[in-house]
Structure 1
Amino acid sequence: MTQLFKLATLGLSLALAGCQAVNTTSGGALGVERKQYMFSMLSTDEVNQMYAQSYQDLVGKAQQQGKLDTSSADAKRLQQIAKRLIAQAPLFRADAAQWDWQVSLIKSDDLNANCGPGGKIMFFSGLITQLQLTDDEIAAVMGHEIAHALREHGREAMSRAYGVQMATQLGSAFGVDAGSLQMASMGVEYLMTLPNSRGNENEADLIGLELAARAGYNPQAAISLWQKMSKAGGGAPPEFMSTHPSSQSRIASLQAAIPKVMPFYQQASGRR
């Protein structure tokens, strides 16, 4: 076991040697500050371009299948909510003002939404209709997903995956058997990738909360949203085995942060 740990640690050390520490966003009022290690040969622009192509492929396929919704009331709601949230994004990173933001609504029963690198937002209609989301709750979801893009969590995950790859390649070079390689790879994943992924979710929760509040959406909606998501999700895996925080800890973290962002919501509401 000691040999496997050393192997995994060596792989991670070599991977980090090819990374650079960056600050992708400002910390905001909630102080979301953390040095992120990005693989230096994988730039922001390259990741954004790669994802933009994948996004266009998905949207094009949905359009061909008659699943791209551009005219319904929900589609119009999404566009309006996105417009207000996107206007606040440069407060966290200035270059977001130059991103080619896009918003798509896909007709699907999936309870899902995402915002990929470079500001490519995708919602699935089931999330809105099945959970009967209000505008404030949609803003909570969208703010969370936009935060992932602002913090470049996708590029960060790709950089972490390089550490797993390095550990596996080193094991093969040293003649480690397949079973041990799998254990080493799993060790890297649980010691590095999953905890940081949970951290990423917490960051997205907090930045998204502030983003929505600054855009004039009630931050209290984040609580009702995750309560709805918890009921819809049924039994969730234990928190230490999941990339997502448990509903209870997530809600507790949001409740603690809401008083700090409520003034932004009140100020924005007063301007409307």
Structure 2
Amino acid sequence: MNLRTTFFSRPLIHGAAWLGAALLAAGCASTTSGSVAAGGAGRSQLLLVSSDEVMQQSLQYYEQQNKQARAKGELITSGPEWSRVNAIMQRLTPQVAAFRSDAARWPWQLVLINEDTVNAHVMAGGKITVYTGLIRKLRLSDDEIAAVMGHEMAHALREHTREKMSQSAAGDMAISIGGALLGLGEGGQQMASMGKQLALDLPFSRSMESEADLYGLELAARAGYDPRAAVTLWQKMAQAGGSNGPSFLSTHPAPGDRMAALQAAIPRVMPLYEAARRGR
């Protein structure tokens, strides 16, 4: 009997059992209700990492980002441009309660950074960063800005950062346990990790981007912003960015795929938009 195998077998079996139990327990969780834009069906999420841990890391990054932008004189906290984007966020914020009631009490906050970067992102808990290059270079309308903001808010509502961290941790543990049980060397485990990235991590990121598109579409419609602007937004993004390579190697869906999915979902949220417009 191999002493090395005897020593590792019990911890590895226990690790595999723990992983299976954790996946079973966490796999049926969901951070929000379903979206009308997505057909109303909810989706189970893998949430192994605690929300507190993700929040702490996000706030550290957020504070560091703001400190650096302030030091370079790029942090915008007032003025017409900031007021415009903030007003759009304030109209969107009450609509988050349609997906999860606690999110209406989150300290949603806008950071506008004066850079040519065509981008925006969100931190856990509702800290949204928008770069002026996105608005200026693409000449976005208020409806198109609402599509961007809704998309970013959807990432926060669905806790996609937490979900990605959980998915990555589960995959890495599975490779480590499986590799040890099968006797794979370092090279074999590296190949398995690459396969996991292509087969799981990248498609997983693309699915979350698509999900944020649809939830964001509904948020914008509920706030009285024209959901059709999501399509024109991505038309502008596609023209500005061109092709980023094969979609299977990207963390984001191809622009054409995004626009087709949004176009198909627009009829489902138009009644919400029309009701919001009548109520204003």
Mark yes or no: TM-score above 0.5: yes
Residue number in structure 2 paired with 1:50:
57
The alignment status of 1:34 with 2:43, answered yes or no, reads yes
Match of 1:237 among 237, 240, 245: 245
Which aligned pairs between 1:225-264 and structure 2 lie closer than 5 A? 225-264=233-272
Query: Is 1:150 paired with 2:186?
Result: no
Write the letter of the residue equivalent to 1:22. A
Distance in 2 (alpha carbons) for counterparts of 1:173 and 1:209: 46
Match of 2:192 in 1: 184
Other structure's SS at 1:122 match: strand
The answer for the alignment partner of 2:69 in structure 1 is 62
Shift of 1:202: 1.3
User: Is contact 2:35-2:214 (8 Å) kept?
Assistant: no
Contact 2:76/2:113 (<8 A) preserved: yes
Partner of 2:131: 124
State the one-letter code of the partner of 1:199.
S
Q: Deviations over 1:18-48 (max 9, x none)?
A: 3413111111323252100111xx2223322
Task: Name the residue aligned to 1:104.
Answer: 111
The corresponding residue for 1:3 is none
Offset, 1:14: 5.8
Q: What's the offset of the Cα at 1:138?
A: 0.5
Change (3 A) 1:222 1:165: same
Bigger shift: residues 156-165 or 208-217: 156-165
Describe the shift of the 1:197–1:245 C-alpha distance in structure 2 as closer, same or farther (beyond 3 A).
same
Amino acid at match of 1:71: S
CA distance in 2, matches of 1:12, 1:251: 41
CA distance in 2, matches of 1:16, 1:201: 27
Higher Cα Rg, which structure: 2
CA distance in 1, matches of 2:240, 2:82: 23
Q: In the alignment, which residue of structure 2 is the partner of 1:4?
A: none
Deviations 1:126-182 (A, max 9, x none): 111011111110000110111011011100000011134214533368653332222
Where does residue 203 of structure 2 map in the other structure? 195
Superposed, 1:209-220 pairs within 5 Å as 209-220=217-228
Evaluate the alpha carbon distance shift between residue 174 and residue 29 of structure 1 in structure 2; reply closer, same or farther with a 3 A threshold.
closer
Q: 2 CA distance for matches of 1:65 and 1:121?
A: 19
Describe the shift of the 1:150–1:45 C-alpha distance in structure 2 as closer, same or farther (beyond 3 A). same
Deviation at 1:12, TM superposition (A): 8.7
Alpha-carbon distance in structure 1 between the residues aligned to 2:259 and 2:204: 19
**Aligned pairs, how many?**
261
**Is residue 2:24 matched to residue 1:17?**
no
Q: Which runs of 5+ in 1 are unaligned?
A: 1-10
- Does residue 1:87 correspond to 2:91, yes or no? no
Q: State the Cα distance separating 1:89 from its structure 2 match.
A: 0.7
Q: Indicate the RMSD between aligned Cα atoms, in angstroms.
A: 2.0
- Alpha-carbon distance in structure 2 between the residues aligned to 1:94 and 1:55: 24
Aligned amino acid, residue 36 of structure 1: Q
SS at match of 1:114: strand
Kept in 2: contact 1:100–1:118 (CA 8 A): yes
Q: In structure 2, how many angstroms separate the alpha carbons of the residues matched to 1:234 and 1:13?
A: 46
Contact 1:214-1:268 at 8 Å conserved across structures: yes
Instruction: Give the Cα–Cα distance (whole angstroms) in 2 for the partners of residues 167 and 187 of structure 1.
Output: 13
Change (3 A) 1:89 1:13: farther
> Quick one: which amino acid aligns to residue 100 of structure 1?
P
